[in-house]
Amino acid sequence: MSSTTYQVLIKGKFAELSDEQRVALQAVASRHDVFSARFTEEGTVTYERALNGFTFRVLIPADEKDPEAVVHAMAEELCTAAVRRLGADCRNLQSVSTDRASIKINRKGR
C-alpha cells in the first residue's frame, strides 16, 4: 500500500464564548492571524479579533485507500483539540481536503 499526505482546511465557529474566553482569545489573536497560516502536521489555528470563526490547516498522512471521510475525521479531531488548547470549543466544522500529490505547480518562464 502506498501512502499520501492530504492538506485539510477546516472552517468552523467558536462555541458560545464567555467574556473571559473572549478576552483570552483576543489577547493572543496576533499569534493566530492569517499571516501565521501554515499546513503542518500539528495544524495551525487562525482567527480574527472579532472571533466570528476560525480556520484550521493541517497535513494528514494517510493510505491512498483511506476514504476522504476518514481523513476529515482525523483532521477534525486535531482541530477540536487545538481549539480547546486555546481555551474554547468549536462547532459547525466544514472540511475540504486535497491530496498533495495532485497539486500541480505552474512555473512562469519555463
Give residue 25's domain range.
Answer: 3-102
Question: Is the residue at 109 inside a domain?
Answer: no
More reliable by pLDDT, 40 or 98: 40
Residue 43, domain CATH = 3.30.70
What pLDDT, on the 0 to 100 scale, is given for residue 72?
95
Question: Is the residue at 98 inside a domain?
Answer: yes
Question: Is the residue at 37 inside a domain?
Answer: yes
Domain count, the chain: 1
C-alpha–C-alpha distance, residues 99 and 85, integer Å: 27
Question: Is the residue at 107 inside a domain?
Answer: no
For residues 7 and 98, is the Cβ–Cβ distance under 8 A?
Answer: yes
Residues with Cβ within 8 Å of residue 76, at least 6 apart in sequence = 10, 93, 95
Comparing C-alpha atoms, which of 28, 13, 20, 22 is closest to residue 90?
A: 13
How many Cβ atoms sit within 10 Å of the Cβ of residue 78? 17
Question: Is the residue at 87 inside a domain?
Answer: yes
Q: Which range is least confidently modeled, 33-42, 62-71, 97-106?
A: 97-106
Question: Is the residue at 94 inside a domain?
Answer: yes
Question: Is the residue at 46 inside a domain?
Answer: yes
For the cut 80, the answer to whether the pLDDT of residue 103 exceeds it is: no
User: Is 0.85 surpassed by the pTM of this model?
Assistant: yes
Q: What angle do CA 80, 60, 105 make, to 5 degrees?
A: 125
